[in-house]
């Protein structure tokens, strides 16, 4: 899908007042994945990404299929008809699709999910849902790693493979200045969220 086509489609989705149909969700998912890979490097190709679904009870989160070979985004039902909520949720979850893992993610991955969600909300032209609570805290810590978050994120994925890294030594080598600032920042970022 070309960026032009994606944008035209997204313009249409923005103005629609009824619920977003399945094919639109898929188109948005492909667009967001492409953007995320451009900024943060390629996703793990061993997983198949499936069509996002609305969940009546839970979400937003990612869910694996039965044999764990594929994964998809489960959206909360409040994203059904409201474009800004849809972008906010799906962009965040898209970062969890890059290197999918069952169970809790790391603070580092959540921080980049927040960053990418804010970036896409801004890019697609609406007011942003700002992070709060622990999401805000890990996002703030991640920003201390460098001035350009996506450059920082790409370096981490290139050197440590995923945002699930628990390799403190590699992280210290990548970001030596952080140790001087505060020794607890890197351990906190690679810890479970
Ligand atoms: Zn998340």
Residue ranges covered by each domain of the chain = 3-189
pLDDT tens for 125-163 read 778 899 999 999 999 999 999 999 999 999 999 999 999
Ligand 1 centroid, distance to 188 Cα (angstroms): 16
Provide the mean pLDDT of the chain. Answer: 91
Size of the chain, expressed as the number of residues it contains = 193
Distance CA 192, CA 129 (A): 23
Ligand 1 centroid, distance to 92 Cα (angstroms): 6
Distance CA 47, CA 137 (A): 30
Ligand 1 centroid, distance to 104 Cα (angstroms): 9
pLDDT of residue 32: 96
Ligand 1 centroid, distance to 132 Cα (angstroms): 13
DSSP secondary structure code for residue 18 in this structure: S
pLDDT of residue 142: 98
Let me know: does 94 contact 29? Beta carbons within 8 Å.
Answer: yes
Does pLDDT of 3 surpass 70?
no
């Amino acid at each position: 899908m070309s960026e032009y086509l994606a944008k035209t489609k997204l313009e249409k989705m923005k103005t629609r007042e009824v619920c977003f149909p399945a094919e639109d969700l898929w188109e948005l998912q492909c667009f967001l994945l492409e953007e995320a890979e451009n900024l943060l490097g390629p996703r793990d190709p061993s997983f198949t990404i499936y069509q996002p679904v609305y969940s009546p009870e839970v979400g937003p989160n990612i869910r694996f299929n039965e044999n764990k070979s594929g994964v998809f985004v489960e959206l909360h039902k409040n994203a059904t008809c409201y474009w800004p909520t849809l972008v906010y949720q799906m962009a965040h979850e898209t970062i969890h699709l890059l290197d999918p893992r069952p169970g809790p993610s790391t603070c580092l991955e959540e921080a980049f999910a927040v960053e990418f969600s804010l970036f896409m909300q801004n890019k697609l032209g609406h007011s942003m849902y700002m992070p709060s609570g622990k999401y805000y805290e890990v996002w703030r810590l991640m920003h201390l790693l460098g001035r350009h978050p996506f450059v920082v994120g790409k370096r981490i994925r290139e050197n440590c493979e995923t945002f699930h890294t628990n390799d403190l030594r590699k992280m210290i080598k990548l970001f030596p200045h952080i140790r001087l600032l505060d020794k607890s920042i890197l351990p906190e970022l690679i810890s479970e969220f």
